[in-house]
Amino acid sequence: MAAASPAGAKLADMLDAYPRELRSALLLLPDDADITPVGERHTKIMATIGPSACDAPALLRLAAGGMDMARLNLSHGDFAFHERVVATIRDINVNSPFVVATMFDLGSRDSVRLGEFARTPALAKDDVFTLTARHLPEYSPLVSEVSYDGFIRVAEVGDTVSVQSEAGAYVEMSVTDVTTTDVICRVTAPGSLRSRGSISIRGKSLSSAGAGRPLAEDGDDAGMDFNASIALSVLGCPPDELEFAIRQRVEYIALSFVESAEPVLAVRKLLARRGANIGVVAKIESADGLRNLESIVAAADAVMVARGDLGTAIPFELVPSWQARIAEMCRRYGKACMVSTHFLESMVLYPTPTRAEVTDMTEVVKQRADVLILTAETASGRFPFKALATMHAVLRRTEGAVRARLVETRRGVLAGVADTPPLVTDDEWWESGIGGVAESIAASAAELANARNASAILVFTQKGLMATLVSRYRPDAPVYAFTPTPTVRNKLTMLYGVRPFRLEFQDDSEATIGAALAALKDRRAVADGDEIIVVADVLGGSHGASDADCRRVFAEVARGRGASSLSATDVVLALRKLRLKVSDNLEAQLRMRTVDVADATSEMSVMRKRSKSGDAGGSRSKSGERYDYERFKAIVADAVEVVHTVQMRPV
């Protein structure tokens, strides 16, 4: 029998690091595929999906090689293509050991693009090039249509227009004349144009070109009208893009050219109405976005530093300092920070990076950003898998050097989180008496893990809050987050250092922790004798609360919602204010978890299978059911005091 090749032997060895039921997917990988061990790298990688790597084998190989998130730009490809990719990634999440979150990148008025070129125009200095809104079947070589007619209304003589070139840089033109349908330009910085390349006017926003449409009323029957109103009036994207993203239930939606908190808040309102647990990413690409940065960070779930377009809106020498400021502000607010564009642009055509590109990635790791984004490298480049492997290797090696330097500066003192900026609280997570406790627990867990050189931090979370807070402190150890719902699990894969798992919680906390440790042992993430930190809520202590406390908290939460009764999620909040919690089984039966509606349906199916009677329980509430004071008080009577614990224990 022939001996296995070195690559095949590597793959065979890696199979033992995963549960048996998930190994079949790994057998589909080629022998030379890279497989990233669990928890090896803290900084996450998002890969843009395009023609270079979009079928099922290629997506599986990207996931195995370290792709944590997949980006789909709705400005390219059709809905059928994007739907196939999303379906494939969901299959990977279910049938392989890898977890990949999906993000749809929506267009906007400011994300204007050229048309398609039959032959790439090579522009020389002083050439005359025309941008048009005539939308004819074909054009002469020095004319291109633009994707948004409002571009013509905003352009003025003397403006500088930046157009994406085929090499990834930008061709610059000066506007010499404007008609009702055309913008005539003179080339000042030559180059070859790219089909569907982006266009921007330096120092200008195109938002005003489509403003003025009033938002539709958002009554119970507004439905698609409200969606279309937000898409057209606030985002400047086609309504079907936003609707498609919601129906696909992707983990994140990225909003282009965000210049204030308004579009973020409008989309969050729409998502809440649709029962969609989708995170909102604000892309910072303009000077106005920088001016309103703090309010945008506070409103969004994550922020993307879109360096390509930002570099055409402000002087390019200012981009690095703004990148660092945005990363720090995101940590202050407990929000994820992404950095995009030109990390490995040379690898679109060549198999190795430049030294400057390696240094660029290293600097972002030092700034402790959550996610680095590959764009053309994986979407249309010649070496998508090598580009991913290169980024993974650079990030992993740099993280090791950064951690070693931090350990040396601590000098044995519990100062592992001293460089973390103070947290800025917001109204969503930081209800009175709740957020401060969670923040203290997260800080304690990170400090203890660093001081004891722990192998791992285990966090058990329903909504992802505790995992987010622990990640904010950038502990040395990997953070393994366990949650019962798939959407929360997938969303957590964005966070620095966090590796999420789906796990059904049991009312016996020791049984839940034991199941989590078994899962990590199966993946060789921990071993017997390792010291770990466990962050978990334990049910114990006293039952219920006094009538006076019940009435006070019920009135406080109801008043905050402008209602006389509470929703299921409001009940959970009220219980937290009372330092109480019902069992996980009862919480699922009553649909009191803040999960996507698709997750809730799936979760109830699991609960019914686990129930001996074939039903999850007669007290199960219907979606949207309200709780008056008497029903709330009955739930409080079944609730138990929550004991927040940070445990140090051996495996």
Judged by DSSP in three states, 180 sits in: coil
113 C-beta neighbours (distance < 10 Å), count: 21
Residues 336-393 pLDDT 10s: 999 998 999 999 999 999 999 999 999 999 999 999 999 999 999 999 999 999 999 9
CATH of range 112-204; options 1.10.260.40, 2.60.120.10, 3.40.50.300, 2.40.33.10: 2.40.33.10
Q: Is the pLDDT of residue 232 over 70?
A: no
What's the first-to-final CA gap in the chain, in angstroms? 40
Instruction: Give CA torsion, residues 552, 558, 562, 567, to 10 deg.
Output: 180
Q: Is the pLDDT of residue 443 over 80?
A: yes
Domain ranges of the chain: 1-33, 44-109+220-410, 112-204, 413-651
Q: Whole-angstrom Cα distance, residue 262 to residue 20?
A: 48
**pLDDT for 621:** 44
| Residue partners of 138: CB distance under 8 A and separation at least 6 | none
| 556, two tokens | 């406080």
d(CA 135, CA 580): 62
Q: Which fold has domain 44-109+220-410?
A: TIM Barrel (3.20.20)
Whose tokens are 């990977």? That residue is 92
Three-class secondary structure of residue 164 per DSSP: strand
Instruction: Read off the pLDDT of each residue in 61-82 and give the average, rounded to a whole number.
Output: 94
Tokens at 22, concatenated? 């998930």
Provide the token pair at 237. Answer: 């994207």
pLDDT digits (tens, 9 = 90+) for 18-50: 888 888 888 889 988 888 888 889 999 999 999
Main-chain dihedrals φ then ψ at residue 129, nearest 5 degrees: -125, 140
Question: What is the spatial distance between Cα 45 and Cα 364, in angstroms, rounded to a whole number?
Answer: 12
pLDDT, mean over the chain: 84
**Amino acid (1-letter code) at residue 56:** A
Contact of 157 with 177, CB cutoff 8 Å: yes
Tell me the pairing of strands 252-255 and 101-105.
Answer: parallel
**Of the candidates 189, 191, 194, the residue with the CA atom closest to the CA atom of residue 174:** 189
What pLDDT score was predicted for residue 168? Answer: 67
Per-residue pLDDT, averaged over 292-321, amounts to 92
Secondary structure letter of residue 102 according to DSSP: E
Q: For residue 256, what are the contacts with CB-CB under 8 A and spacing of at least 6?
A: 105, 106, 107, 108, 110, 111, 235, 237, 283, 285, 306
The closest of 284, 190, 267 to 229, measured between CA atoms, is 267
Q: State in words which class domain 413-651 has.
A: alpha beta
Quote the DSSP letter at residue 138: -
* Range from 49-53, 316-320, 322-326, 568-572 carrying the lowest mean pLDDT: 568-572
79 has a pLDDT exceeding 70: yes
pLDDT at 615 over 70: no
